[in-house]
Amino acid sequence: MQSGQLYEFGDFRLDPSEHLLLRDGEPVSLTPKAFDLLVHLVEHRGRLVSKDQLLKALWPESFVEEANLTVSISALRKALGEKRGATQYIDTIPKLGYRFVARVEAIQRPLAPINVAIPASGSLQPPSSTVATSAINGSGNPASAVGEQPEPQLFQQVAGLAARAEELGVQLTPSTTKGKSRSPRLRIALLAGICVAIFIVGLIAFSRWRRSVADSSAPKRLAVLPFQNLRHDPDTEFLGFSLADAIINQLGYVHELTIRPSYAIQKYRGDNPDLQQTAKALSVDTLLTGSFVREGDNLRVSYQLIDVRTDRLLRQGTMDLKYQNLLSVQDDVSAQVINALALTLSPSETAQLKSEQPIPPAAYEYYLRGVDLYSQNDFPLAIKMLERSAELYPGYALTWAHLGRSYTASASFNFGGAELYRKAQAAYEKALELDPTLLPARIYMANLLIDTGKVEQAMPFLQQTLQANPNLAEAHWELGYAYRHAGLLDESAAECVKARALDPGVKLTSSAINAYLYLGKYDQFLRSLPPAGDSAFIEFYRGFALYHLGQKEQAAEIMDHAYELDPGLLQTQVGKALADHVRHKDAEGLALMNAAENKVARHAVGDAEAAYKIAQAYSELGDTASAVRVFQHSVEGGFFPYQYFETDPLMAAARQEKEFAQLVQAARQRSQEFRKLRP
């Protein structure tokens, strides 16, 4: 690199010798490694620079993981304002490296930095009486040509200010003053300049202090991304998601940490996502990424903890271990996260985070495979893996918790029937017998009890969970789900809003704040739904709300689309029947609802709330007798928001049946009894 060589591209000017990047004349903040990376790419512009070349150039004589390079690339793209998927400046060549593709102009003109000016002699050394000439006397002290000595106290103030300014990222550059000697007026100007600079530095320091206080008072928000399989070995691919899930479970007990649940990060499996975009999508300020490679009985696991707000690497490490010691990964990495984020643990949290009873390696591998299969919605195979794990070692509580969840999902989505619900409850009970404090088991058990008509029994599990960790978004959401079934609609909405405040992605595509719908707040309900996409469940509810609003033609189009996305989903079948009613095809709608009702009855599927929607469709289609029959099944099955029943516009026809009022009264009585369970 030539001395004084500058580069211009887009709105930027790069000055390597001054370690300065400007955008439209304003300094751009970059970490040292990101700056070095930019210089290297710009100097090799138009050419493919391999990842190995960059690692050697940025970390000479050091062994670092490729993820460090990914962090620096992400920081650089953020600083340049490059959007995800765009190649305005940096083009990613998959599995090979990067190429700087923007047009670059190399220039020799000097660049005057934009700085806070301090009137002085031209340097922060003790000034001489003239600018043009200075000398070093025999004692080694600067002296003027005419013998005027510097003022030591003033110089110390300036030097101290410069040091503090540099620490805060503010450069204080003296301006050149022409003249033969320093006059009293000049001294006043100098002191005034110093005062202004001190004020600026103090303002910056105060601002940073306020941010640090705010940051320390709020729970840290962390997402653990699936670990990357560096060898792309299909036989070990299951480790990527399941290792992340193990760490998430381990850290779920920490009050000072809001951690994204496993279902929120599963879409990033096998991917190398843009860190800034990922953090924004998950609404977190910290990411834990990692990689692994297995060779025979040896396993290497590397991890990086990144503050995405500053692109700062908070902690990184590499673990070399025997495959049979896989369980130690979650303990060691969790401890490093807690240490790096300076989290304070209560005695109960410390006890909870201690290593569990060892599980044999084979049983643990079956457990991890089952967790991974569940995340891919392969519930039957997940059950086989988890049952095998429990058979090999029945003393691991998490195995039973995830086995129960797999039974529940298979019963609900695969119409597995009442037998799987019984197995699920037994599995949760076994998990809690082994570990009464196990948070996932408490939440899963509560969800099962709500869906099988035992909402009152679910309350202690949810209350205990939130006492253990009040920042657990999923627990707040399940509490809102329980309140909704029991008719506490305002309380339900409040809990769901609280859950979304803690984690904006909680249950985003698999559930909705139905309390708004039942309270008649249709516009608010629609605003709470995510944007239109490919979730059949959410699209059904979008159309369902419009149907309540009387916008039935538009509702029918959306519900038709939802049915096309997933015709096997009970909700979309209800939506299709309502769309048939809008188009005067009541016979087709009734046939669809008869088939749905028979299937639910035959397989003893839970979820009384979903069954109520069949009653709504029957009422709209004119079959009020069937509507009341299914309505009774729904109330007896544990869905009793009586206020909604009294005002539901879709049940207007069914309300004319004499049994309807009796069922509403039964729902009111049960709701009133439920209120007594609240603390």
- Taking alpha carbons only, the member of 605, 545, 536 closest to residue 571 is 536
pLDDT at 198: 63
Integer Cα distance of 551 and 545 in angstroms = 9
Q: Is residue 452 part of a domain?
A: no
Cβ–Cβ < 8 Å for 400, 384: no
What are the tens digits of pLDDT across the range 222-271? 999 999 998 888 889 999 999 999 999 889 888 888 899 888 888 888 77
Residues 228 and 350 in one domain: yes
Label residues 250-275 b or e (16+ Cβ within 10 Å = b). bbbbbbbbbbbbbbbbbebbeebbbb
What is the mean pLDDT of the segment spanning 457-469? 92
Q: Is residue 289 part of a domain?
A: yes
Integer Cα distance of 670 and 486 in angstroms = 8
Q: Is residue 135 part of a domain?
A: no
Residue 127 φ then ψ, to 5°? -75, 150
Look at residues 87, 107, 127 and tell me which one is the last residue of a structural domain.
107
Integer Cα distance of 49 and 175 in angstroms = 41
In degrees, rounded to 5, the angle at the alpha carbon of residue 456 between the alpha carbons of residues 453 and 460 is 130
Residue 678 pairs with which residues in a beta bridge?
none
Cβ–Cβ < 8 Å for 614, 593: yes
> What DSSP string runs through 17-38?
TTTEEEETTEE----HHHHHHH
Cβ–Cβ < 8 Å for 548, 559: no
Q: Which pLDDT band holds residue 63 (cuts at 50, 70, 90)?
A: low
The torsion defined by the Cα of 43, 46, 52 and 54, in degrees rounded to 10, comes to 30
What are the tens digits of pLDDT across the range 219-233? 689 999 999 998 888
Residues 102 and 224 in one domain: no
Whether 73 has a pLDDT exceeding 70, the answer reads yes
Residues of the domain holding 240: 220-355
Integer Cα distance of 490 and 521 in angstroms = 11
Integer Cα distance of 362 and 267 in angstroms = 27
What is the mean pLDDT of the segment spanning 194-220? 54
Which domain CATH number covers 342? 3.40.50.10070
Looking at every residue in the chain, the average pLDDT score rounds to: 82
The total of other beta-carbon atoms located within 10 Å of residue 488's CB is: 22
What is the mean pLDDT of the segment spanning 394-416? 86
What is the mean pLDDT of the segment spanning 178-203? 58
Q: Is residue 668 part of a domain?
A: no
Whether 135 has a pLDDT exceeding 70, the answer reads no
Look at residues 324, 355, 386 and tell me which one is the last residue of a structural domain.
355
Cβ–Cβ < 8 Å for 31, 72: yes
What are the tens digits of pLDDT across the range 568-580? 888 999 999 999 9
Integer Cα distance of 102 and 114 in angstroms = 25
Cβ–Cβ < 8 Å for 186, 175: no
pLDDT at 367: 95
Q: Is residue 312 part of a domain?
A: yes
Q: How many CA atoms lie within 13 A of 514 on its CB side?
A: 27
Residues 98 and 224 in one domain: no
Q: Which pLDDT band holds residue 526 (cuts at 50, 70, 90)?
A: very high
Residues 101 and 228 in one domain: no
Look at residues 91, 107, 123 and tell me which one is the last residue of a structural domain.
107
Q: What is the DSSP letter of 292?
A: E
Share of the chain above pLDDT 70, in %: 79
Q: Which residue has the tokens 């698999």?
A: 510
Integer Cα distance of 631 and 655 in angstroms = 11
> Of 9-13, 210-214, 298-302, 640-644, which range is least confident?
210-214
Q: Which pLDDT band holds residue 471 (cuts at 50, 70, 90)?
A: confident
Number of domains in the chain: 2
Cβ–Cβ < 8 Å for 58, 69: yes
> Of 247-251, 353-357, 581-585, 625-629, which range is least confident?
353-357
Integer Cα distance of 6 and 2 in angstroms = 9
Its pTM stands at 0.65
Residue 223 pairs with which residues in a beta bridge?
287
What is the mean pLDDT of the segment spanning 508-529? 91
Q: Is residue 411 part of a domain?
A: no
What is the mean pLDDT of the segment spanning 20-38? 86
- Taking alpha carbons only, the member of 524, 526, 445, 518 closest to residue 488 is 518
Sign of CA dihedral 141, 147, 153, 154: negative
What Rg do the C-alpha atoms of the chain give, in angstroms? 32
> Of 14-28, 255-269, 409-423, 601-615, which range is least confident?
409-423
What is the mean pLDDT of the segment spanning 541-568? 95
Whether 165 has a pLDDT exceeding 50, the answer reads no
Whether 144 has a pLDDT exceeding 80, the answer reads no
pLDDT at 546: 96
pLDDT at 330: 87
Helix or strand (DSSP H, E) at 436: none
User: Which amino acid belongs to residue 291?
Assistant: S
Whether 124 has a pLDDT exceeding 50, the answer reads no
Q: Which pLDDT band holds residue 139 (cuts at 50, 70, 90)?
A: very low
Q: Is residue 80 part of a domain?
A: yes
Whether 611 has a pLDDT exceeding 50, the answer reads yes
pLDDT at 301: 93
Whether 143 has a pLDDT exceeding 80, the answer reads no
Whether 470 has a pLDDT exceeding 70, the answer reads yes
pLDDT at 531: 85
Q: Which pLDDT band holds residue 132 (cuts at 50, 70, 90)?
A: very low
Q: Which pLDDT band holds residue 210 (cuts at 50, 70, 90)?
A: very low
527 or 356, which is more confident = 527
What is the mean pLDDT of the segment spanning 490-498? 95
Integer Cα distance of 382 and 639 in angstroms = 30
What is the mean pLDDT of the segment spanning 615-641? 96
Sign of CA dihedral 82, 85, 86, 87: positive
Residue 367 φ then ψ, to 5°? -60, -50
328 or 212, which is more confident = 328
Q: What is the DSSP letter of 289?
A: E
pLDDT at 483: 97
Q: Is residue 260 part of a domain?
A: yes
Q: Which pLDDT band holds residue 286 (cuts at 50, 70, 90)?
A: very high
Which domain CATH number covers 28? 1.10.10.10
What are the tens digits of pLDDT across the range 420-449? 889 999 999 999 999 998 899 999 999 999
Contacts (Cβ under 8 Å, ≥6 apart) of 659:
628, 632
pLDDT at 666: 97
